[in-house]
Each structure stands twice: as structure tokens, then as C-alpha cells.
């Protein structure tokens, strides 16, 4: 199934259907361009004027949308359990790579806002909830397909997997080894793999 133009209506977000089709889960934006965009976004995040704040909020909105599209591209067209493996393996590679997600704008925004900026916190919550919803829907679809244990609590497991994804990024940012990040990715998938 091709990605929906508006990723907010993508079946994995809405839970309306399982992913299918030949599309591979490659990221559409070259890594150099992603790195440059991230540097630009991080530079304008530290703001002093209202105009700069609006620019930073718009950059954060665009980043949240881009991350959602990338997440959907990674899982689109794959059976749910395989999609979860691809997602966590890809996230581990990105976290552990030089300049990967070490400067994740979403996490940095959550930290910098320090609970004081409700608009930023809302965007961060939206990003995490979207990620959790994708995981929950993949788990639920995997349960229907018989690849994931039916007795597993999909919402709670999706929350745990989201926490592991966030933790992987935080640990990578603090200098943890590639092996540590990959072990966490493996453990996350083990939560649903029979």
C-alpha cells in the first residue's frame, strides 16, 4: 500500500487495516540533508524573540511530521512483526550512528521546554503518542495475523516499546555503545516475538 499523502490518515495510525504491498521501509530523505535540517532546527530552538519562537515551533512541527512519515515508511508494506523488527533495527542504527538521533529535536525540545512551554510539550506528546499508536496498531494486527501472542496487552506493550525507543535515543546521546543500543532494540522486539 502506498503511503497516504497525509500521513495522519495512514492506516497504521488509524488502525484501519494491516500494512501490505511491495514498498521497502527506506527513509526518503538522504542522511546529509536530514543532518543539515536537524542542525538548522536545533539552532533556532534556542530562541529569544516571539518571531524566533514561532520559527522554532514551526521547525518542531515539521520535524514531528517528518519523523511520523519516516516511521510509516519504515513499516509500510511489511507484516507487523517484521515491521517492528525493521523499525527497531533502523532506530538502533540511527541512534548509534555518528550524528544519528543523538540530537533528536523532539527529545531536546522536551528537555529544553522543561514543562514550561505547553505548546512545545503538546507537540512532543503528539510525537510520542503517534509513535505509540503505530506500535500498538502493529502489535494488534500481528495478533490478528497470529504472529504475535493474542494474550499480549497491546496498549501496555506499545507504551513499553515507546519508552525503549526514547531510552535508546537518550542513551545514545549520553554516549552509550552501539552494542547497548542494539541490545535494547532486540529486547524491545522480544516483547512481542514468540
**Residues near 125 by beta carbon (within 8 Å), at least 6 away in sequence:** none
- Helices of type H across the chain: 11-14, 31-45, 50-75, 80-96, 105-113, 118-145, 154-173, 178-190
Domain-located, residue 150: yes
pLDDT reported for residue 29 = 52
Domain annotation covers residue 82: yes
User: Into how many domains does the chain fold?
Assistant: 1
The answer to whether 99 touches 35, Cβ cutoff 8 Å, is: yes
Query: Is 12 part of a structural domain of the chain?
Result: no
> Going by C-beta distance under 8 Å and a sequence separation of 6 or more, which residues neighbour residue 156?
none
Give the mean model confidence (pLDDT) for residues 87-92. 88
**Sequence-separated (6 or more) residues with CB below 8 Å from residue 61:** 123
- Residue 3: inside a domain, yes or no? no
Whether residue 185 lies inside any domain: the answer is yes
Higher pLDDT, 53 or 180: 180
Q: Record the pTM.
A: 0.69
Residue 153's Cβ-count burial label (10 Å; 0-12, 13-18, 19+) is exposed
Q: What CATH number is attached to the domain comprising 92?
A: 1.10.357.10
Dist. CA 57–CA 59, nearest whole Å: 5
Q: Phi first, then psi: what are they for 177, rounded to 5°?
A: -75, 160
Answer whether residue 4 is part of any domain.
no
- Domain with 181, as residue range(s), is 27-190
Select the highest-mean-pLDDT range: 118-122, 138-142, 168-172. 138-142
Range with top average pLDDT, 11-15, 63-67, 106-110, 129-133: 129-133
pLDDT tens digits, one per residue of 130-159:
889 999 999 999 999 999 999 999 999 999
Q: 59 lies in a domain? A: yes
The grid cell for 25 is 521501509
Evaluate whether residue 33 is within a structural domain: yes
Average pLDDT, the chain: 77
Amino acid at each position: 500500500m502506498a503511503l497516504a499523502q497525509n500521513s495522519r490518515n495512514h492506516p497504521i495510525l488509524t488502525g484501519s487495516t494491516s500494512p501490505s504491498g511491495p514498498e521497502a521501509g527506506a527513509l526518503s530523505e538522504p542522511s546529509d540533508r536530514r543532518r543539515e535540517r536537524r542542525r538548522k532546527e536545533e539552532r533556532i530552538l534556542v530562541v529569544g524573540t516571539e518571531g524566533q519562537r514561532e520559527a522554532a515551533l514551526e521547525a518542531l512541527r515539521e520535524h514531528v511530521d517528518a519523523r511520523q512519515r519516516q516511521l510509516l515508511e519504515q513499516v509500510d508494506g511489511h507484516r507487523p512483526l517484521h515491521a517492528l523488527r525493521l523499525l527497531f533495527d533502523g532506530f538502533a542504527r540511527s541512534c548509534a550512528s555518528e550524528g544519528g538521533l543523538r540530537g533528536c529535536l523532539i527529545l531536546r525540545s522536551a528537555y529544553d521546554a522543561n514543562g514550561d512551554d505547553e505548546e512545545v510539550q503538546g507537540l512532543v506528546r503528539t510525537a510520542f503518542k503517534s509513535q505509540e499508536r503505530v506500535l500498538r496498531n502493529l502489535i494488534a494486527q500481528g495478533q490478528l495475523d497470529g504472529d504475535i501472542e493474542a494474550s499480549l496487552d497491546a496498549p501496555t506493550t506499545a507504551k513499553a516499546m515507546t519508552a525503549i525507543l526514547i531510552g535508546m535515543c537518550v542513551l545514545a546521546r549520553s554516549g552509550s555503545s552501539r552494542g547497548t543500543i542494539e541490545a535494547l532494540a532486540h529486547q524491545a522486539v522480544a516483547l512481542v516475538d514468540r
